[in-house]
Amino acid sequence: MTASFDLFANEPQALQLRLGPQAMVLRQRALPYAQQLFEGIQSALLQAPLCQLQTPGGHRMSVRTSSCGPQGWVSDERGYRYATAHPDTNKPWPSIPVAWQTLAIDAASEAGFNGFMPDSCLINQYTPESKMSLHQDRNESDFTQPIVSISLGMSAVFLWGGMQRSDRPSQVLLHHGDIVVWGGTDRLRFHGIKHLTGAPHSECGAMRYNLTLRRAR
Ligand SMILES: O=C(O)CCC(=O)C(=O)O
Ligand SMILES: [Fe+2]
């Protein structure tokens, strides 16, 4: 075995994958916090149960969602928007755990966005039957604030498109512990989830969780 082989064996995979001028995947960035994140999700969902929301067009989303923070993302026949209370329980959303805030703020700054101040964390739960069509995140009031999106559990095929819905998206595999950050000129890029892929996850089975931290107001 050569010395260089040894060096490469210890080399982590490329830890940052650039998706655009102001967008990147921070591979495995959330891995050290995964257990803590799973526990936080479980306790948040006890207070704010997952819902299968209706789109304004009358379809049921295949993803189940909940939120933390002063603002939670909701959807119904009246449209997509942020709300201060859970649509079923009418209670305020649980607060965003401080560790999630810190992780998101640090990830944002590593991707070039200082001063990220999330007031909303969407919790998406996917099964192998779920997908999320190409969309832009545009219900927020300040597009200078980035999006920080944490993947946990099963891997997924992330669709990373352009500024037009018709732009053909590239496909990026997102794995347990990866964080995607996008903002600035990439803030309104179309994106989505084609489907989950790979084996069930040791911690959460045939499921993927995504935490999307944003500044809503
Ligand atoms: O699950 C993901 O990785 C993306 C989720 C997303 O784009 C959204 O909730 O707006
Ligand atoms: Fe999105």
**pLDDT, tens only, 90-119:** 999 999 999 999 999 999 999 999 999 999
Domain assignment present for residue 148? The answer is yes
The ligand 1 atom at the shortest distance from the C-alpha of residue 210 is 1
Q: Is residue 5 part of a domain?
A: no
More confident of the two residues 155 and 14: 155
Query: Ligand 2 centre and the CA of 148: distance in Å?
Result: 10
- Whether ligand 1 lies within 6 angstroms of the CB of 71 is answered as no
- CB of 212 shorter than 6 A to ligand 1: yes
Question: For the chain, what is the domain count?
Answer: 1
What pLDDT, on a 0 to 100 scale, did the predictor assign at position 66?
A: 98
Q: Which residues are annotated as a binding site for Fe cation?
A: 135, 137, 191
Question: According to the model, what pLDDT value does residue 191 have?
Answer: 98
6 domain-assigned: no
* CB 30 less than 6 A from any atom of ligand 1: no
Residue nearest to atom 2 of ligand 1 (CA): 210
Classify residue 83 as exposed, middle or buried by CB count within 10 Å of its CB (0-12, 13-18, 19+): middle
Give the span between the Cα atoms of 65 and 77, in whole angstroms.
16
pTM passes above 0.90: yes
In a domain, 4, yes or no: no
Question: 122 φ, ψ to 5°?
Answer: -80, 135
Q: Is 65 in the pocket of ligand 1 (CB under 6 A)?
A: no
Alpha-carbon span 214 to 160, nearest angstrom: 18
β strands within 10-63, DSSP E? 16-20, 23-26
Quote the domain boundaries for residue 81.
17-214
- Tokens standing for residue 75: 């959807």
130-169 as b/e, with b when 16 or more CB fall inside 10 Å?
bbbebeebebbeeeebbbbbbbbbbbbbbbbbbeeeeeeb
CA distances from 144 to 9, 34, 152, 185 (A): 40, 28, 26, 9
Q: Is the dihedral of CA 50, 146, 115, 73 positive or negative?
A: negative
Question: Ligand 1 centre and the CA of 195: distance in Å?
Answer: 12
> CATH code at 106?
2.60.120.590
* Neighbour tally for 184: CB within 10 Å: 15
Instruction: Summarize pLDDT for 144-155 with one digit per residue, the tens.
Output: 999 999 999 999
Atom 3 of ligand 1, residue of closest alpha carbon: 210
Report whether residue 148 contacts ligand 1, using a CB cutoff of 6 Å: no
pLDDT of residue 198 exceeding 60, the answer is yes
How are strands ordered across the β-sheet holding 155-160?
132-135, 191-197, 155-160, 170-174
Query: CA 122 to CA 214: how far, in whole Å?
Result: 8
In a domain, 180, yes or no: yes
Residue 209 lies in a domain: yes
In a domain, 43, yes or no: yes
Q: What value of ipTM does the predicted structure carry? A: 0.99
pLDDT at position 5, please? 40
Distance 209 CA to ligand 1 centre (A): 10
Task: Identify whether 10 is part of a domain.
Answer: no
Asked whether the beta carbons of 123 and 68 are under 8 A apart, the reply is yes
* Minimum-distance ligand 1 atom for the alpha carbon of 137: 10
